[in-house]
Amino acid sequence: MSSIQQNLNKIKSSLPEQVTLVAVSKTKPNADLMEAYNAGQRIFGENYVQELVEKHDQLPNDIEWHFIGHLQSRKAKLIAPFVSLIHGVDSLKLLQEINKQAAKNNRVIDCLLQVHIADEETKFGLDEKELEEILKQFLDSARSDNNEFKNVRIVGLMGMATFTEDQNQVKKEFQYLKSLFDKFKRHFDSAQCDNIKLNTLSMGMSGDYELAISCGSTMVRIGSSIFGSRN
């Protein structure tokens, strides 16, 4: 068994049943992805549109591709034919563009709204007010006669904690995201809108996924602990 397969099996056996593993394969060659594939992994996450498109074209078609980077509106059309989940959506404008491209492909594309939880300026994402505003406008549209968002479904939230050794801080950030998730899930579940089903909380990477799971994560995005460090 290769080291990638050993890493993967070790991580998989440690995950609770309800937690989905996204194998983050950005910058890694197809051969590495195939090692994971041959060990049973079917969900892969990529950050760069061009790289994702190439890997999708070259690798087996039963792979579920997640886009986990920051998507520029003008590139949505390149992944719309096949992407199964877009993690980092942080504006209505981007949702509109994803919807447009999804409609052209006769698909409904699942999306996660990215929340800014880190104590760093550089990370993308919404604050609580912006999140609430987007969900409200989305719901208003879905309930109106001309739903602008028929071809997208908001299925949960995504966040990245601060890059720090301070486990207490990381824990607080994950707990905060979980509290938002619970609050908005309660609120929007009762709205019974087919295009908002908050069931996925994507948080946790190689360095912090165990903590994220203990705070309620349902989906972890793990790269370097499976494939080794990146250049």
Binding site for ligand PLP (CB under 6 A): 24, 26, 47, 68, 160, 205-207, 221-225
Q: Which is nearer to ligand PLP, 87 or 139 (CB)?
A: 87
- Residue 74's SS3 state is helix
Q: CB 187 → ligand PLP: shortest distance, Å? A: 26
- Report, in Å, the least distance between residue 136 CB and ligand PLP: 26
Contact 149, 95 (CB under 8 A): yes
CB of 193 to ligand PLP, least distance (A): 27
Tokens of 57: 């074209």
Residue 94 vs residues 62, 75, 77, 178, 189: alpha-carbon distances, Å: 27, 10, 11, 24, 23
Question: Amino acid identity, residue 49?
Answer: V
Which residue's beta carbon is nearest to the bound ligand PLP? 223
Give just the sign of the alpha carbon dihedral 104, 107, 108, 111: negative
Cα-atom radius of gyration of the chain, to the nearest Å? 17
Residue closer to ligand PLP by CB (options 111, 205) is: 205
Q: Name residue 61's amino acid.
A: N
State in angstroms the smallest separation of the CB of 76 from ligand PLP. 17
Residue 18 has a CB neighbour count (10 Å cut-off) of: 9
Nearer CB in complex with ligand PLP: 147/216: 216
Q: Of 164 and 224, which has the nearer Cβ to ligand PLP?
A: 224
Residues belonging to the chain: 231
Contact 85, 113 (CB under 8 A): no
In the bound state with ligand PLP, the residue whose beta carbon lies nearer, of 140 and 166, is 166
Choice between 47 and 151, CB closer to ligand PLP: 47
Q: Return d(Cα 100, Cα 80) in angstroms, integer.
A: 9
Rounded to a whole number of angstroms, the minimum distance from the CB of residue 166 to ligand PLP is 17
- The least CB distance from residue 79 to ligand PLP, in Å, is 15
